[in-house]
Structure 1
């Protein structure tokens, strides 16, 4: 496994892979890798011959009061894990390499509709930053497939729409959420939790499961159900950002006629923002 830091080095390595007629997969990450990331690598390995993992903490998707400076950067540990996972190439560019003329005035890719509300409402500009850097990475690597985690449900919807609307020749694939034994969705930000907060954190998933069970049992009073679930989370010590039922395909608010429902939540424990989701089919 090689690690490169410039676009020129990246393209040289990919040129050799293409000369050997290898099918290329891309797994974009911000590093500080956990088993959830490695599941994305495994999905890419199963479907391609040459897996590129990008590691880049993208300043463009962080708001002014978010954790850009404190976001963990663990390149050496990440390289070791990716070597064991069977990745072929790590692309770990600097900010100057990705934004050589700075970010002020940089072209932005904005995806309407699915980027609005939910995380888009609480993190203004976040999805413009995500869609811009992912577009750049897709253009740099030009993979056959790119794999993203379904934990970031709205982000995946944004990237799928972006790739479709811009006619990008890549298949966007979603990988199922990887969870700890107690149900907490794996996330790099879980490391910010105190011991007490970590014990409380699984309640987020448990509450989503309660909503799922109620819906599968035939309950359709969405507003009162979400009120109940909100009280459960607040009583457990969460500060809720949002808890919503959306159409899993369009991300429009769910109605009694919606068949595929996404239960989407974001909540704070202390200063740590956690997100989770469940998707279910109603008959």
Structure 2
């Protein structure tokens, strides 16, 4: 199932995508709650949701609504993973912007940081580079995991049991702020610097992940391309690393890292500038398409 959060006639609503271009409005079946709350109560809502999809007589064209991030109000900061593809770890270490490079290009354990909920924006929202005073805004295409179960992930737990579904994010970053402050929150937590979506695909729709390929294009030029099997630390490892001591909440998002090809990997760097169009895509989730302003 593909869930979306959308805006119609000024109202925020939750829906399910049918044939990728028609939306079934689930709001009458689930109430005015957001998708994070629906995920938390999914055991009791799965049946009415399925019935609403089956019996829907009216659907909306996806082009007639405004799509928002599927989890547009995360319960807390988005968990993010740094340097989680070998080639990107090396390009970042060589860039001069990596405050962790002294410990080695490839990390020995997952590097976890976060982006605040205010960084989350829609799949077609503008990226406002004026919010970065240094003019060094970069892109990072990432596959994201959405958590569906509360609690800590102990050694006895199956990490996959915590996964509700998957979406995409662009971990937009001010490189100079990231470098200047050593820790990454200020460089990556800027308002709107986490486009997300366009849909949340439930785990059962993607039983095998390794060969799924994530790409990023800037103005039609392919900058990033990699299958998920190239992750240094796989999804179960990331869930165990975070969930061993931090209790998960339904609707938590984990961005799993970006492959090589980011702007700072070029000489000179290829930073984003007003007028650029950044497209992060993976089939069958869809594509983020964000204009830089």
Q: Shorter-chain TM-score category?
A: under 0.3
TM-score (normalised: structure 2): 0.23
Which of these two proteins has the greater Rg computed from alpha carbons?
Answer: 1
Higher helix content, 1 or 2? 1
Does 1 or 2 have the higher relative contact order (CA < 8 Å, sep 6+)?
2
TM-score (normalised: structure 1): 0.24
